[in-house]
Amino acid sequence: MRSIFRVVLAFLGLWVVPAWADGTLRFVPQADLRILDTTWTTAAITRNHGYLIYEPLFSYDSHNVARGQAVDDMTVSADGLTYTLTLRPGMTFHDGSPVTAADAAKSLDRWSRRKASGMTMRARLAAITVKDARSFQIVLKEPFGLVRETLADAIQPTFILREKDAVADPFTQQQFTEVVGSGPFRFVSSEWVAGSKAVYARAANYVPRPEPADGFWGGKVAKLDRVEWIIMPEPTTQVQALLRGEVDALDLPLVDLLPVLRKSPDVVVKVLDTMGSQAFFWLNSAHPPFDKAPARQAIVHLMDQVQMLQAFIGNPDYERPCWSIMACGSPNESSAGTAGLAKPDVAQAKALLKQAGYVGEPVVLLDPADQPIMHQMSLVLAQFMREAGITVDLQATDWGTVVTRSVRGDKPGPGSPGWHLYPTWAPGRVVASPLTATQLRTPCNVSGFQPNPCDMELEARRDRFFAAATGEARKAAMDALQERFYEVVPYVVAGQFLAPKAWRANVSGVVSASEFVFWNVEKK
């Protein structure tokens, strides 16, 4: 009788199946999933999609230790130049084909051409060679003691693709006709609707590691039948859906609405990433006015981090003004080159703009209006810029469009997808080291994720950091690197913040990772 009643209500459009009614976890991600090519972008939404369906070579555990994930064993030759990696047995892709060393080697080759840490290793690379079905070798021209940490990159993991997918140009966004991974869930392409929903189903042939899940590492046991990402941009709608049990978890609830969630006994609110994230504005150094360092420096002198954090977070418990380019609270935190930056200096900014030759041309500031944090960041920076006499062309759009436009080098102007600035952020664990901070790269004649300035002195100082043999030498190298950074200014730091997650109390097994991951999670 009850089932008949439900059918009638469903026919009338009155029955909504609550999130707790089945083995499906309904999750509201921080943004819409637009890009499936995990090598082509650093967007968090694409990375988190990758964690569901792919297996990386290495991962970081909850103690930030790099450990083999797809890799079962890694040995190093006596001269420190040859690393032999052996994949764990029994790994298969979702199409039933075995995961081989050829797949891993080609995936690593593609990844290392695009990612900052991969390019750092690649500068010392002689070859990546396949040894047998399960083993391949990384052969270096000179010792590089950060191979393990490089392969465990957290913002753009070393995911294993099928060899036929991994041969694709890493500098061209790939629209794969089928998305096939080897992780705990498989992507249900037929149910993917951009702007609405992305669906993942338990991969029946996935064999997890035997160890317990620990951060991004360990046994990724899929206890859920399905994971559905429900695209729901409006923050109040998200919170109401969670309170009513229509969804199970929120990736990025608005801080202003956290008190409402905390009042409910049916909801858990928790900070998973205790180091927090660094907010910043990426600058387009390919075109005026930001092709000149003084113009980029001007934005630094306009930045009021206290006011900025109050606008997009609004809770002192989650805010931390921080001018260090490596995350505050990390071993590489530095105050070098930051004297006088705690308070904005509009007069100095105007002088720098004049020095750069700026005479009032429109400056395109992208505004991801579907992202509350970044939307507020854009609005506040627009006001800072206007106070300095900058003509701001504030262009409201969605985050997926920003990601697509940002990698292009088009000249800004009427009818052009070009841009000058846009807001974003990165996890503190990623911007804790020059190895993994993608945005810190300033090579010349090398395509990157963004049109960063060309500055080989900054690159040289990064290399000196990697070469430092002692903690004291590394600290000196970091200070010198940051001093040069504030002369060149590839991007502008806007502060550091914590971002709590929220989920229904009947959801258990949430792993202590800096993101909400879906393995080990179940619903009571």
If DSSP codes are grouped into helix, strand and coil, which group holds residue 162?
A: coil
Q: Which long-range contacts (CB under 8 A, 24 or more apart) does 255-260 make?
A: 255/313, 255/314, 255/315, 255/318, 255/499, 255/500, 256/314, 258/315, 258/500, 258/502
Q: Please say whether the beta carbons of 272 and 494 come within 8 A.
A: no
Q: What is the pLDDT along the chain (524 residues), one digit of tens a residue?
A: 334 333 333 333 333 444 334 699 999 999 999 889 999 888 889 999 999 999 999 999 988 899 999 999 999 999 999 999 999 999 999 999 999 999 999 999 999 998 878 988 999 999 999 999 999 999 999 989 889 999 998 778 999 999 999 999 988 888 877 899 999 999 999 999 989 999 999 999 999 999 999 999 999 999 999 999 999 989 999 999 999 999 999 999 999 999 999 999 999 999 998 889 999 999 999 999 999 999 999 999 999 999 999 999 999 999 999 999 999 999 999 999 999 999 999 999 999 999 999 999 999 999 999 999 999 999 999 999 999 999 999 999 998 899 888 877 789 999 999 999 999 998 888 889 998 887 898 988 876 667 889 999 999 999 999 888 888 999 999 999 999 999 999 999 999 999 999 999 999 999 988 899 999 999 98
Domain ranges of the chain: 18-32+185-270+501-523, 44-166, 277-497
Q: Round to whole Å and give the CA distance between 324 and 328.
A: 6
Check residue 10 and give its pLDDT. 37
Structure token pair of residue 240: 């109401």
Q: Round to whole Å and give the CA distance between 204 and 126.
A: 38
Q: Round to whole Å and give the CA distance between 264 and 138.
A: 52
Q: Round to whole Å and give the CA distance between 157 and 137.
A: 19
If DSSP codes are grouped into helix, strand and coil, which group holds residue 5?
A: helix
Cβ atoms within 10 A of the Cβ of 236, count?
Answer: 11
* Candidate CATH numbers 3.20.20.140, 3.10.105.10, 3.40.50.300, 3.90.1300.10; the one for domain 277-497: 3.10.105.10
Q: Which of 233, 206, 246 is nearest to 69 (CA)?
A: 206
Q: Please say whether the beta carbons of 53 and 179 come within 8 A.
A: yes
Q: 96: alpha, beta or left, given left = phi > 0 and alpha = psi -120 to 50?
A: left
Q: What is the DSSP letter of 193?
A: B
Check residue 17 and give its pLDDT. 40
Q: Please say whether the beta carbons of 520 and 295 come within 8 A.
A: no
Q: 73: alpha, beta or left, given left = phi > 0 and alpha = psi -120 to 50?
A: beta
Check residue 429 and give its pLDDT. 83
**Exposure string over 159-184, b if 16+ CB within 10 A, otherwise e:** bbbbbebbebebeebbeeeebbbbbb
* Fold match flag (18-32+185-270+501-523 vs 44-166): no
Q: Round to whole Å and give the CA distance between 204 and 183.
A: 10
If DSSP codes are grouped into helix, strand and coil, which group holds residue 366?
A: strand
Check residue 1 and give its pLDDT. 39
- Sequence letter at residue 41: T
Check residue 175 and give its pLDDT. 80
For the domain bounded by 18-32+185-270+501-523, which CATH number is listed? 3.40.190.10
First CA to last CA distance, the chain = 25
Q: Round to whole Å and give the CA distance between 373 and 185.
A: 29
Classify domain 44-166 by CATH architecture: Alpha-Beta Complex (3.90)
If DSSP codes are grouped into helix, strand and coil, which group holds residue 144?
A: coil
Q: Please say whether the beta carbons of 214 and 510 come within 8 A.
A: no
* Cα dihedral across residues 317, 320, 326, 329: positive or negative: negative
* Cα dihedral across residues 456, 458, 461, 465: positive or negative: negative
Q: Please say whether the beta carbons of 156 and 47 come within 8 A.
A: yes
Q: Which of 415, 458, 112 is nearest to 285 (CA)?
A: 458
Question: Angle, to 10 degrees, between the axis of helix 471-488 and the axis of helix 293-302?
Answer: 100
Q: Please say whether the beta carbons of 485 and 337 come within 8 A.
A: yes
Structure token pair of residue 313: 């977070």
